[in-house]
Amino acid sequence: MSDVEASKPQKRKKGWVDFLVNFRWILVIFVVLPFSFSFYFMQYLGDKRSERKSYKQRQIEHEENVQIVVERLKERNPSKDGLVCTARKPWLAVGMRNVDYKRARHFEVDLSAFRNILDIDKERMIAKVEPHVNMGQISRATIPMNLSLAVVAELDDLTVGGLINGYGIEGSSHIYGLFSDTVVAYEIVLADGRVVRATKDNEYSDLFYAIPWSQGTLGFLVSAEIKLIHIKEYMKLTYTPAKGNLQEIGQAYMDSFTPRDLDQDNPEKVPDFVETMIYSPTEAVCMTGRYASSEEAKKKGNVINSIGWWFKPWFYQHAQKALKKGEFVEYIPTREYYHRHTRSLYWEGKLILPFADQWWFRFLLGWMMPPKVSLLKATQGEAIRNYYHEMHIVQDMLVPLRRIGDTLEWIHKEMEVYPLWLCPHRLFKPPMKTMVTPEPGFELQLKQGDTPYAQMYTDIGVYYAPGAVLRGEVYDGVKAVKNMGNWLIEIHGFQPQHSVTEMTEEEFWKMFEPELYEVCRKKYGAIGTFMHVYYKCKKGRKTEKEVQEAERAQPETAYADIEQPAE
């Protein structure tokens, strides 16, 4: 065989799983969509019943439910029962990481009742909510008051608990940071049944800083107090095309929200919302938004686009028009803008239902969109699930903003996935060694987007089938995700834990900072009660042996073999 023939991409042999995947849309249309719509409708009715109750009544019910959790924990026999976890079924998680750790022996605690908004304090500008409150629910309650969470994740179904314990980002994160950065207090049930309120300046401040990214492995989150901001009725959105190579697109993205003179805290120079979508290696659309009043939006000549209607084009396809049309501006109702990617699940809906973006489908069945992610997972089966692990990428990559061009080139080489989603966020310099911290010494030589107290990072959302898969070629998705982890470690980036990780435990703790997490594991009795965060993120089934080893694990074993940076 010649070198040329050897270097040519090999065609992948298709099997029966490919057939199931290609025609899965039949199951989605006739089963998943109707059940999803019914589920969302019943959930909506439940939210409305909750809204009719006074905040005082909701708080009373909350305290009763917290006591049930405490009593349940006291029933556990550590010598006989497994590690503690929630009673939620594995397929109900919104994240694409399958909750395999629940397949092993475990002791369940039901948190399903914790889905109420407990208070909206307009004076303190704080919303107190339970962990199962989702983004659609809270935006529906706050926006009529011209209030909002500082960071509202795009998909309606994402919950407060998942965004705090895991990962939450939005177009306003370049100002406010990640979702967890907007929380001012956590109410936690510890392993021994104690209920504590952790803030950044009380006796549980270490726990406060350790909770984000911990995946619920330090205690049960039962409520959170979250920062509110004042907003206006509309988002004035500017669509700007960007063309060139990936380095040039990366620079255009940076210039859309980071002044080159480093005046990053100047609201005149920095928009309220930022987002960029890259459609090919040479084309992207940068979007910047500013809140606008109804009076401004309705002025003669302004275009108002209510993108929330079921029959409207999917947002990412609508934004793509700027590549031909050139820069344009329109006004979008604020709540509809917040949840702009919900109906199409960014662009994943195109793979699930190949014709769902067509005008006739949107008009006839678009009102049932989106399919509920948990129901998609529940109906995929083991074979399809493994297929998606190998042939599909659903990952987020958090990288220093200054490495955006290099990372885009790396993604094109290793994954070749388009569209790509770019969303920036401030990574604040914490007073303690939290799991995720900026690059050491970044404040000594500020780069575009940085401030002395925070380094600018960006999320790159990689959600689609790689180019090789779409062309029918052999592709090793597991290797690509493994290589992604190595790349992120090299550039001081991070892999959010809602997706599959292929890292070893040693690699995991090269990416994340273990010190505060392990101290809190020991201090607050989580060892032997809650599974370690690495095992919770690790791909694959959890055997009884692994569970027993995790129960016996001591904090220093997780990172004893890793070379620690010098002080």
Contact 411, 246 (CB under 8 A): no
H or E element: which one contains 337? helix 334-338
Rounded Cα distance between 361 and 145, Å, is: 35
Contact 352, 308 (CB under 8 A): no
Contact 416, 225 (CB under 8 A): no
Contact 308, 333 (CB under 8 A): yes
Q: What is the pLDDT along the chain (567 residues), one digit of tens a residue?
A: 444 454 577 888 888 888 888 888 999 999 999 999 999 999 899 888 888 999 999 999 999 999 999 999 999 988 787 788 887 665 455 555 555 555 555 788 999 999 999 999 999 999 999 999 999 999 999 999 999 999 999 889 899 999 999 888 999 999 999 999 999 999 999 999 999 999 999 999 999 999 999 999 999 999 999 999 999 999 999 999 999 999 999 999 999 999 999 999 999 999 999 999 999 999 999 999 999 999 999 999 999 999 999 999 999 999 999 999 999 999 999 999 999 999 999 999 998 899 999 999 999 999 999 998 888 887 877 788 778 878 889 899 999 999 999 999 999 999 999 999 999 999 999 999 899 999 999 999 999 999 999 999 999 999 999 999 999 898 988 899 999 999 999 999 999 988 778 888 899 999 999 999 999 999 999 988 888 888 887 765 545 455 556 555 544 333 333 333 333
- Whether the ω angle into residue 333 lies within 30 degrees of 0, i.e. cis, is no
> Burial, 448: exposed, middle or buried (Cβ in 10 Å; 0-12, 13-18, 19+)?
middle
Give all strands (DSSP E) within 216-327, no chain letters. Answer: 220-230, 234-243, 273-280, 283-292
What is the SS3 string spanning 98-111? Answer: CCHHHHCCEEEECC
Contact 191, 109 (CB under 8 A): no
Length of the chain: 567
CA torsion, points 96, 456, 206, 517, in degrees to nearest 10?
40
Half-sphere exposure of 375 (CA within 13 A, CB side): 21
**SS3 of residue 148 by DSSP:** strand
Q: What is the reported pLDDT for 388?
A: 81
Contact 389, 469 (CB under 8 A): no
CA–CA distances in Å: residue 515 to residues 111, 115, 209, 434, 531: 29, 32, 12, 8, 17
The residues pairing with 148 across neighbouring beta strands, listed in sequence order, are 229
Token pair listed for 341: 């990617």
* Beta pairing class for 147-149 and 420-428: unpaired
Rounded Cα distance between 329 and 324, Å, is: 14
Rounded Cα distance between 291 and 271, Å, is: 9
Rounded Cα distance between 310 and 79, Å, is: 53
Among 378, 397, 436, CA closest to 213: 436
Q: What are phi and psi of 106, to 5 degrees?
A: -155, 165
> Count of CB atoms within 10 A of residue 252's CB?
18
* Single-letter code of the amino acid located at 299: K
Rounded Cα distance between 428 and 450, Å, is: 10
Q: What are phi and psi of 51, to 5 degrees?
A: -65, -25
Rounded Cα distance between 501 and 346, Å, is: 21
* Single-letter code of the amino acid located at 377: K
Fold (CATH) for 55-230: 3.30.465
Rounded Cα distance between 87 and 169, Å, is: 26
Domain ranges of the chain: 55-230, 394-512
Rounded Cα distance between 272 and 332, Å, is: 14
Give all strands (DSSP E) within 415-490, no chain letters. Answer: 420-428, 454-464
Rounded Cα distance between 221 and 392, Å, is: 32
CA torsion, points 391, 398, 542, 212, in degrees to nearest 10?
-150
Rounded Cα distance between 322 and 313, Å, is: 14
Token pair listed for 221: 């989150």
